A and B are shown apart, each in its own frame.
Chain A
Amino acid sequence: MLPKLPREKLLDLYKTMLVMRRFEEALIRVTKSGISVGHFHVYIGQECTGAPALSLLGSRDTVFTTHRNHGHLLARGADPGKLMAEIFGKATGYNKGKGGTLHTTAGELGFLTTSAIVGGVIPLATGAAFAAKERKTRGASMCLFGDGALEEGVVHESFNLAALWSLPVVYLCENNSFGAPGQKAGEYSSSTIAARSLLSLATPYGIPAVSVDGTDAGAVHQAVQKALARARKGQGPVFIEAKTFRWPGSRPVWPELLTGETDLKRAWDLKAIPKQYADWHRKKDGVLRFTRELLKSRRATPEEILEMDREAQARNEQAVRFALDSPEPKPEAALEDVFA
């Protein structure tokens, strides 16, 4: 379902999703053309979780996420050019090229850090919630992580502390272990945990836990809105599981455009859906789902959709150009900022 928002806001959300999708497609295309940026992880396929969730954050809130963060940054309003430049290790990147794809910080957006240590940000986000509570900012701390993070010990310690001290933190677990189309059983990646339900890991601490379909932007929006309201009122943490599918191309550490670049016509023209990975295009791709929902509810026409897509693509082409044209950091910058 669509989030309960006025048309203009819905279209803003959709534009954000398109920027998220087209950004990573452009990134993959550029890297395939021979420009090396090291390995990276893509968020393609999880846009219906990140976009609505992060659209709900305000200036008092903070956010911490993971190695799979490009989509989160863009959803929070990060500049695609500065993000692309950071991924390329350029001096104009968010972190002056010091962080790269795995560690982007956009301080002015309250987007504090993205850890490449699985589960690593969970104590940090819990700490930011502690600070928010002590400083009475009425802000909340949002923490996004994958299902694999629940296998780390600090997660359970953090749940305990957040519940004990009633900290304003929203733990949003993007459970993408449902397998990408074409994925064989036991193949990377799926979570390795004895618990039958991820929710059962939070509830013993008295943390309210809810599971939503992560390709359903409306469900995610509603759950996160409720959780943030609770946190900001000082009523403590919430755990949300958003069930998403891994995009087939995300499996290698150097992602491949296995399904090609997204063709939004597949949302309304079944003949445009190729046989290979048909399941992905028909059911699992959240961006196509959101597109169909916009069409069905008559909030946008196919022409309007294609126009918004052209804008998103143009914005990302500009981002790529900015990143490629940006200066490299000066070698001596390697020794700057070791200490504050």
Chain B
Amino acid sequence: MAEQTYLEAIRSGLREEMVRDRSIYVLGEDVALGGPFGVTKGLAEEFGASRVLNTPISEGTVVGLAVGASLLGLRPVVEVMFIDFITLAMDQLVNHAAKLHYMSGGQLRVPMTLRVQEGAMGSCGAHHSQSLEAWFLHVPGLKVVVPSNPADAKGLLKSALRDENPVVYVEHRGLYFSRGKVPEGDYVVPIGRAALVRAGKDVTVAAFGKMVGVAEQAARQLEGEGTSVEVLDARTMCPLDLETIVASVRKTRRLVVAHEAVETGGAGAEIAAQVQQEAFHILDSPVGRVGAVFAPVPASPVLEKEFVPSKEQIMKAVRQAVKWVRPAT
């Protein structure tokens, strides 16, 4: 197993698939130059400018163009530079990419991948910092994956590129230079399965993206307090692996969900609702939620820190779950 950064893992996944499948095209603003963070660096040199195309700053049309091209068998990968800009392409994504297979009674397929990156860091302000993936969870027809580490970054990207459906592949900018072991060869992580990151017996923390690492840190620290935390990387938001989450909750009887997206209306709310429907009787405490505060992302480093969910918040939610006592009725 070689060690790679998250960014290198995305690139190698993309590269290997482009070698394997001639129908994969990469489109986006500056992608031929590598994009703003260098994810696609070197691809234009290797595969030529006809397969790695710089596009105008026209997110709506570029996503729509990819949808149209995918109907004829191409497998386009569109990079939308910041997830915040996806607002400009929502019509094509929500009304067309997500629905064409269904509306056509199965006649059409949209095998495209949308690569977006997100994360509140570096004082980028409210237009370059949001975590908006829960929007896509609300749209039948879109798959959503949120890799938290280099191995998954590669494995989930390969799955996305081989999928017959539109997949929104959500990267976190704050993970680009994190390192981890990535299995050699054709490493594929199936869409729809959560991963056990750390076993525990008192509380389950199901987290997405960058919050998985934060939850692990919280778990390590809580161990010193005598609380054993099981950390799950929920990693594929749609389809959601409810089975793995519920199986873990059957063991721990307590659940906390954590993501960097705003807590209100986030994926955690959906997990909490599904888990209580499925396993209300085995829960020993209400499902705890950790997410960003209900505000646009502020620019000032002090305010930004206040916005992003912290290890301490996860620890607090876990402690509350453990301490919770059913009030007398």
Residue ranges of A at the interface with B (Cβ–Cβ < 8 Å): 62, 64, 93-99, 103, 105, 107, 112-113, 115, 117, 120, 122-132, 134-135, 141, 153-154, 157-158, 160-161, 164-165, 336-340
Contact = CB atoms under 8 A, between A and B. Distances in A.
Contacts of A98: 102-105
Given A124-B68, A127-B68, A158 B61 contact: yes
Contacts of B101: 337-340
Given A98-B103, A337-B105, A112 B71 contact: yes
29 contacts: A94-B105, A94-B107, A95-B103, A95-B104, A95-B105, A96-B105, A99-B105, A103-B104, A107-B107, A107-B108, A113-B96, A113-B108, A115-B95, A120-B92, A124-B65, A124-B71, A127-B64, A127-B65, A127-B66, A128-B69, A129-B68, A130-B68, A134-B25, A134-B50, A154-B64, A161-B55, A161-B61, A161-B62, A340-B111
Contact of A124 (B74, B96, B106): B96
Given A117-B95, A157-B56, A339-B141, A131 B73 contact: yes
A93 B106 CA distance: 12
A331 to B, nearest CB: 15
A161 B74 CA distance: 18
A132 B65 CA distance: 12
B91 A127 contact: no
Nearest to B107: A107
Q: Which of B25, B64, B140 has the most CB of A within 10 A?
A: B64
Given A120-B96, A126-B65, 14 more contacts: A93-B105, A99-B103, A103-B104, A105-B100, A117-B95, A124-B71, A125-B68, A127-B76, A130-B69, A134-B74, A135-B74, A158-B61, A161-B55, A340-B101
**What 5 A-B pairs come out closest when comparing CB atoms?**
A127-B68, A123-B64, A157-B61, A157-B58, A95-B105
A164 B95 CA distance: 26
A198 B325 CA distance: 70
B165 A340 contact: yes
Contacts of A122: 61, 64
Interface size class of B (residues with CB under 8 A): 35 or more
Given A96-B106, A134-B74, A126 B68 contact: yes
Interface string B210-251: 000000000000000000000000000000000000000000
B72 interface: yes
Interface in B53-89: 53, 55-56, 58, 60-74, 76
B143 interface: yes
Given A105-B107, A107-B108, A124-B64, A338 B102 contact: yes
Interface of chain A: mostly helix, strand, loop or mixed: mixed
B68 A128 contact: yes
B67 A127 contact: yes
Contacts of B56: 157, 160-161, 164
Contacts of B74: 130-131, 134-135
A158 B56 CA distance: 10
A171 to B, nearest CB: 13
Q: Which has the most chain A C-beta neighbours within 10 Å: B55, B62, B71, B143?
A: B71
B164 interface: yes
Contact of A153 (B60, B63, B107): B60
Contacts of A157: 56, 58, 60-62
Nearest to A105: B104
Contacts of A161: 55-56, 58, 61-62, 65
B32 to A, nearest CB: 13
B109 interface: yes
Nearest to A104: B104
Q: Give the one of B25, B103, B141 with max A CB within 10 A.
A: B103
Given A117-B91, A135-B73, A161-B56, A126 B61 contact: yes
A337 B72 CA distance: 18
A108 to B, nearest CB: 9
Nearest to A130: B69
Nearest to B101: A340
A110 to B, nearest CB: 9
Nearest to B100: A113
Nearest to A143: B68
A281 B216 CA distance: 77
A120 B95 contact: yes
B105 to A, nearest CB: 4
Nearest to B99: A103
Contacts of A127: 64-71, 76
A97 B65 CA distance: 26
B21 to A, nearest CB: 13
A160 B58 contact: yes
Contacts of A132: 72
A123 B108 contact: no
A120 B91 CA distance: 8
Nearest to A132: B72
Nearest to A339: B165
Contacts of B140: 338
Contact of A107 (B66, B95, B104, B143): B104
B164 A340 contact: yes
Given A127-B65, A131-B73, A339 B107 contact: no
B239 to A, nearest CB: 8
A263 to B, nearest CB: 37
Contacts of B70: 127, 131
Contact of A62 (B55, B65, B72, B143): B72
